[in-house]
Amino acid sequence: MKIQIDHKDFELMIDHEQVKKKLRLIGIQLNVAYEKRVPVFVGILNGCFMFMADLMKQVHIASEVCFIKMASYEGDRRADTVKSVIGLNTSLKGREVIIIEDIIDSGNTLRKVIDLIKKEKPASIAVCTLLLKPDAVQHDFEEIAYVGFEIENDFVVGYGLDYNGLARNLKDIYRAV
């Protein structure tokens, strides 16, 4: 199935049923790993909103949720700098922190977020991402613990990911063709 967004063509890459199955698996892993703890899930907006909302429905342990907003894209290109638009509003000192990302490509946004969170002196940091582009990552991350799908270095939209602000609402994930 092909679609067009803002004069750019995309084809179906991952359908929503695959995403839902992966979310159930990650939810089980999180429930087991954090069974006797109360982690703080830190979502990186805007992209994580669909993934995090659906993931949290699979998390059945006591937990807290907060968000930060970072900006690293201009259209379909990664920007040279990552900007913090909305910062943390919850103390993370001594807490188990799980960062929720929609996608890790260069890793620049994640690097900045981890550095910000480390300043808060959490007990631990784990990263949960829906999509990971191993060939695009420019940093080493020991914190990446939960990965939905490893994908090629394609530009993708849907399920929270956008192109010029469009397509975040699509339930499936599409790649540019």
Q: Could you tell me how many residues make up the chain?
A: 177
Query: Could you tell me the pLDDT band of residue 72, with boundaries at 50, 70 and 90?
Result: low
Q: Does the CA dihedral 20-54-62-43 come out positive or negative?
A: positive
Window from 13-17, 29-33, 34-38, 75-79 with minimum mean pLDDT = 75-79
pTM comes to 0.90
Query: Could you tell me the pLDDT band of residue 90, with boundaries at 50, 70 and 90?
Result: confident
Mean pLDDT of 153-176: 96
Window from 18-32, 69-83, 118-132 with minimum mean pLDDT = 69-83
CATH of region 17-29+37-155: 3.40.50.2020
Task: Please state, in angstroms and rounded to a whole number, the distance separating the CA atoms of residues 20 and 54.
Answer: 8
Mean pLDDT of the chain: 92
CA dihedral 152, 156, 161, 164 (to 10 degrees): 140
Could you state, in order of their start, the residue ranges of all structural domains in the chain?
Answer: 17-29+37-155
Window from 18-22, 82-86, 122-126, 163-167 with minimum mean pLDDT = 82-86
**pLDDT tens for each residue of 52-68:** 999 999 999 999 999 99
Q: Please give the positions annotated as active site.
A: 105
Mean pLDDT of 91-103: 97
- Position 70 scores a pLDDT of 77
Cβ neighbours of residue 115 closer than 8 Å, sequence gap 6 or more: none
